[in-house]
């Protein structure tokens, strides 16, 4: 009896008083801990930053990607933009037959020209061609690569690799050039010393077809395929009915 009576009372009492003492004191620390839920805040911040980064990168890529070809051409170091510097130079009333004096920019980058254009179907000409036809090709969106006749063969080959088989491209040696290599598009010129210069590819990427005055459908075929600096009549395929090498004589 005494054991059964003493045991429960002796066992419970200390426990009860201890619980009371411990139970009241912790209230304050627990409240302080609940001030901020750092877990969710960190999660939302991370997700938010990720979203902003993705959107930001996308916006950057889009803005970079939508830079106009004119802006990208102007960003090429050393390029001459005659469309901006000298727009009157590029204006003309009508085609002009026969020999035309081009003096301001050599090789020429625009202005009046013959009826016939030089064939610019990736043609690699091994001799100089007529400015009067080449300028017409530029108007149709061709990039014309010219090089000084003394340019080493391996350099010439590197240029030719960028031309062969590609429409709206042509290339020819050019007598009296003041740089080893010069690139022309309608209203644009870039002179470089070396065929490894990466500005050559930038020039072609920005301006081939894009620089066309008549849009992407202007022809590069049905042009003069003969070399020689004397311009010739190609109207209605006249010269195409002759062997391509014989027609330069006037």
Partner 1 sequence: MTTLTEIETPVEEATPGRPPARYGLLALTLAIVVGLVLGYLAGLLTPHLTRPGDDSPEAGFARDMSTHHAQAVEMGLIAYRASDNPKVRQIAIDIATNQQGEIGMMQAWLRRWKLDPTGAQPAMAWMPNGRDMVKDGLMPGMATPEEMDRLRQARGKDGDILFAEMMIKHHIGGIHMVDAILAHTDDEEVREAARRMKETQQTEINILRQLLDEVKAS
Q: Fill in the per-residue mask, 182 to 201: x = in contact with partner 1 (CB under 8 A), - = not in contact.
A: -------------------x
Q: Does the footprint of partner 1 cover residue 171 (CB under 8 A)?
A: no
CB 124 within 8 A of CB 163: yes
Q: Does the footprint of partner 1 cover residue 8 (CB under 8 A)?
A: no
Q: Does the footprint of partner 1 cover residue 64 (CB under 8 A)?
A: no
Q: Fill in the per-residue mask, 98 to 117: x = in contact with partner 1 (CB under 8 A), - = not in contact.
A: --------------------
At CA 207, angle to CA 203 and CA 208, rounded to 5? 105
Where does the chain show beta strands of DSSP type E? 80-81, 121-124, 143-147, 169-173, 181-185, 188-192
CB 203 within 8 A of CB 73: yes
Supply the minimum distance, in Å, between the C-beta of residue 150 and partner 1. Answer: 24
* Burial label, 8 (beta-carbon count in 10 A; 0-12, 13-18, 19+): exposed
Q: Which of 5, 65, 77, 176 lies at the binding interface for partner 1 (CB under 8 A)?
A: 65
Q: Nearer to partner 1 by C-beta: 193 or 201?
A: 201
Residue 113's nearest CA partner among 92, 127, 86 is: 92
Point out which residues bind partner 1 (CB under 8 A).
15, 18-20, 22-24, 26-27, 30-31, 34, 48, 51, 55, 58-59, 61-62, 65-66, 69, 121-124, 161, 163-168, 201, 204-206, 208-210, 216-217, 219-222, 225, 237, 240-241, 243-244
């Amino acid at each position: 009896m005494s054991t059964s009576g003493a045991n429960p009372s002796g066992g419970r009492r200390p426990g009860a008083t201890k619980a009371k003492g411990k139970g009241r004191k912790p209230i304050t620390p627990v409240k302080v801990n609940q001030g901020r839920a750092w877990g969710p805040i960190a999660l939302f911040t991370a997700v938010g930053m990720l979203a902003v980064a993705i959107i930001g990168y996308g916006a950057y890529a889009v803005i970079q990607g939508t830079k106009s070809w004119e802006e990208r051409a102007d960003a090429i170091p050393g390029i001459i933009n005659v469309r901006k510097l000298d727009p009157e130079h590029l204006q003309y009333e009508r085609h002009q037959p026969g020999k035309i004096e081009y003096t301001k920019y050599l090789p020429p980058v625009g202005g009046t020209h013959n009826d016939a254009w030089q064939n610019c179907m990736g043609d690699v000409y091994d001799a100089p061609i007529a400015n009067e036809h080449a300028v017409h090709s530029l108007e149709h969106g061709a990039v014309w690569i010219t090089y000084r006749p003394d340019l080493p063969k391996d350099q010439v080959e590197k240029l030719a690799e960028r031309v062969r088989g590609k429409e709206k491209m042509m290339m020819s040696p050019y007598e009296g050039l003041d740089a080893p290599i010069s690139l022309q598009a309608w209203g644009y010129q870039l002179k470089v010393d070396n065929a490894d210069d990466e500005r050559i590819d930038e020039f072609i990427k920005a301006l081939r077809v894009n620089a066309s005055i008549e849009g992407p459908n202007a022809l590069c075929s049905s042009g003069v395929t003969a070399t020689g600096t004397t311009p010739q009549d190609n109207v209605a395929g006249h010269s195409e009915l002759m062997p391509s090498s014989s027609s330069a004589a006037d």
